[in-house]
Structure 1
Amino acid sequence: MAAPASALLFSIISLAAVLFFIGGANADFNRDAEITWGDGRAKIVDGGRGLSLSLDRFSGAGFQSRKHYLFGRFDTQLKLVPGDSAGTVTTFFLTSEGEGHDEIDFEFLGNSSGEPYTVHTNVYAAGKGNKEQQFRLWFDPSAAFHTYSIVWNPQRIIFLVDNIPIRVHTHHEALGVPFPTRQPMRVQCSLWNADDWATQGGRVKTDWSKAPFVAHYRNFKIDGSEATNTNKNSNSLNAGAWRTQGLDANGRNRLRWVQQKYMIYNYCTDHPRFPQGIPTECKQSRF
């Protein structure tokens, strides 16, 4: 008899957690990150193993990686704002600098007490985005830490939650579709107020009587090709497994499971948004 789906999922998550902790033993915010804004609302704790961001009616906070990277695997464990988090946005993303920037986004859109977060993903290349996919999660992301990962290599971008793929964005070079391949990016994370759009399209506003809102990060880990300040066009790749990482049959099955049960928006199926036809990459294999 096949194992129950819940038992199988628990096994997958448990194995992913073990693998993450083995690989993330040397994660250190003091070494790898710098606080960029928030006037004391961002705090490195536990000797560099953790970092908290807080939001009140005056300001949120943020931090970024000290270095730029051109491809890699980027992981953090995150415990989101508990309770009534409506209006808040907690982020974990990669971005380049300047006009025509590239960006790879994880954004967690808060909601009223008892209602699920929306996990918003997007990819920008040469300043153009509009490639949104949104998901619910199969757990309460504010009750405990969970691992969120971005794999970025020349072939594809993979978004993972507890090492389970939720989205793959493939580089269709032959079709001329822009893809982030040339601009080094930093990791950036933040907690901020976006109650004009974040929760139910802005209909639910931030309840400041619940402030300060606090999100917690830990085990910030980067395994990537560093681009130095003197050579930000470097495209050398190290020997990391992310270099050619894709999905095997098991990974494709997990991706289908997430997208069938937990995806709530996919730009590729939003035909009214694209009356001239869906974007070219949507017609290709998602793996």
Structure 2
Amino acid sequence: MALVLYLFLSAVGSTVVFANFNTDFDITFGADHTKILDNGRQLQLSLDKTSGSGFQSKSEILFGQINMKIKLVPGYSAGTVTTFYLSSQGSNHDELDFEFLGRLPGDPYAMQTNVFVQGQGNREVRFNLWFDPTENFHTYSLLWNSHQILFSVDGTPMRVFKNMENIGVPYPRDQAMRVIGSLWDGSDWATDGGRAKVDYSKAPFVALFSSYSAEACINGEPCNTNAAWSRERISVEQWKQLKIVRKKYMTYDYCLDKERFPHGLPAECTRHS
């Protein structure tokens, strides 16, 4: 029996989903490199010289709070890329990314975030994680509503992308997205600018995904905008936490890269955190 709970909250018009990897996700590539564990509560992805692997949700969401526990590739993981993200379909797709960039032994794990709107990305912000994400599961969360997109790790806010349509900045609001995860070879860019490659003598490389949950508008169902996650804006306390995280752990922000944008920074950078 599938361990899936759908709790319909009539007061807020959203759906709380605790998903099962047996029933609620499809393997998108590398089926022979995946394993479903713990009665569907966990999914293992692996990468070797023959293939990586990936999955996506059967359902689509349009605004919501999603959470996934992940244990990243341990040991020598240089060149590997583990992802957890939301994405719609097509060339003009919207996408909200967590990308975990493999490391050389002794180095910190890098986490890159990105936001695509109508097919346009180039909004990377990168951090070094302050813990070892290979030893235990940690929770990576996306809050997406009409006001903001908030990236969090274990409840700590890492990045906010505000809705700035009032100054002409496109914002993802019309395209439903699926939840996607993958593990693949990014040797040409992921670690030390592509200088550290995947070493397949150390394969297989393995990442674990667990305990996916979402409170969201799912599959086009009516969704009341009075839901707590739908109303939420970043608080004063969260701004304080963001400033600490940026100062201590951020290693790259496209809004600070004037060499990359010699003709002027993107419009949203004028109101940057």
Query: TM-score, normalised to structure 1's length?
Result: 0.86
How far does residue 253 in structure 1 lie from its aligned partner after superposition? 1.3
1:250 corresponding residue in structure 2: 237
How far does residue 226 in structure 1 lie from its aligned partner after superposition? 1.2
The letter of the residue matching 2:253 is: N
CA contact (8 A) 1:83 1:114 kept: no
How far does residue 78 in structure 1 lie from its aligned partner after superposition? 0.3
2:257 corresponding residue in structure 1: 270
Structure 1 unaligned segments of length 5 or more: list them. Answer: 1-23, 229-233
1:28 corresponding residue in structure 2: 20
Q: 1:25, 1:100 → 2: CA distance?
A: 28
For residue 214 of structure 1, the aligned residue among 206, 218, 227 is: 206
For residue 186 of structure 2, the aligned residue among 194, 197, 200 is: 194
| Counterpart mapping for 1:140-159 below 5 A | 140-159=132-151
CA contact (8 A) 2:65 2:229 kept: yes
CA contact (8 A) 1:71 1:237 kept: no
Structure-2 change in CA distance of 1:44 and 1:238 (3 Å) = farther
1:102 has 2:89 as partner? no
1:179 corresponding residue in structure 2: 171
2:58 corresponding residue in structure 1: 66
SS of 1:275 mapped into structure 2: coil
2:8 corresponding residue in structure 1: none
Q: Deviations over 1:222-267 (max 9, x none)?
A: 2110134xxxxx7744654221222222211111111110000001
Q: Deviations over 1:117-137 (max 9, x none)?
A: 110110000111111100001
1:77 corresponding residue in structure 2: 69
Q: 1:158, 1:210 → 2: CA distance?
A: 35
1:260 corresponding residue in structure 2: 247
How far does residue 202 in structure 1 lie from its aligned partner after superposition? 0.8
2:109 corresponding residue in structure 1: 117
**Identity %, equivalent residues:** 49
* Greater fraction of residues in strand: 2
* Greater fraction of residues in helix: 1
How far does residue 75 in structure 1 lie from its aligned partner after superposition? 0.6
1:56 has 2:43 as partner? no
CA contact (8 A) 2:81 2:101 kept: yes
For residue 241 of structure 1, the aligned residue among 228, 239, 263 is: 228
Q: 1:259, 1:235 → 2: CA distance?
A: 37
Q: 2:270, 2:143 → 1: CA distance?
A: 22
SS of 1:271 mapped into structure 2: coil
RMSD of aligned residue pairs (Cα, Å): 1.6
SS of 2:189 mapped into structure 1: coil
The letter of the residue matching 1:246 is: R
Structure-2 change in CA distance of 1:214 and 1:239 (3 Å) = farther
CA contact (8 A) 1:70 1:235 kept: no
Query: TM-score, normalised to structure 2's length?
Result: 0.90
Q: 2:222, 2:271 → 1: CA distance?
A: 26
Q: Deviations over 1:46-102 (max 9, x none)?
A: 011111000000101011111111111111000000010001000000100012111
How far does residue 285 in structure 1 lie from its aligned partner after superposition? 4.8
Structure-2 change in CA distance of 1:26 and 1:94 (3 Å) = closer
SS of 1:268 mapped into structure 2: helix
1:45 has 2:37 as partner? yes
The letter of the residue matching 2:269 is: C
Structure 2 unaligned segments of length 5 or more: list them. Answer: 1-15
CA contact (8 A) 2:36 2:43 kept: yes
Q: 1:126, 1:72 → 2: CA distance?
A: 19
CA contact (8 A) 1:72 1:225 kept: yes
